[in-house]
Amino acid sequence: SARRGRIYLPQDELAEAGLSDEDIFKGVVTDKWRKFMKRQIKRARMFFEEAERGVTELRKESRWPVWASLLLYRQILDEIEANDYNNFTKRAYVGKAKKVLALPVAYGRSLLLPYSLRNNQT
């Protein structure tokens, strides 16, 4: 973490966004930071979409916890956006109520047919 003098962000993309290590250590949300974070969140959502296709191919008993994780991680991205991309001083987290509500949704998705079977049906 930046507070410990470490940055775990792609240096090339930080530079491309016009951000330096010093900007990260300052921890100030700027338009450059927002643009950088929007790009990271967009990429994360693309990975989640790919992962969702793969989840349906898992054994049925393994799907529910993976679906729950994907839903919760997506909600964390939503929280970062709701916090105006301020993940320097605001923690993006999903409250207990939202976590509990995600469980039946995840269970319902775990019952879906695998993508490979859905695409082959006529």
> What does pLDDT average to over the chain?
88
What is the pTM (predicted TM-score) of this model? 0.80
Convert the pLDDT of each residue in 93-102 to its tens digit. Answer: 888 888 888 8
Q: Please write the tens of the pLDDT for every residue from 47-78.
A: 999 998 889 889 888 999 999 999 999 999 99
DSSP state of 10: -
> Distance between CA 122 and CA 102 in Å, rounded?
32
Average pLDDT over residues 77-96: 93
Q: How far apart are CA 52 and CA 115, in angstroms?
A: 9
Residue 7 reports pLDDT greater than 80: yes
**CATH match for 2-120 among 2.40.50.140, 3.30.470.20, 1.10.600.10, 3.30.390.30:** 1.10.600.10
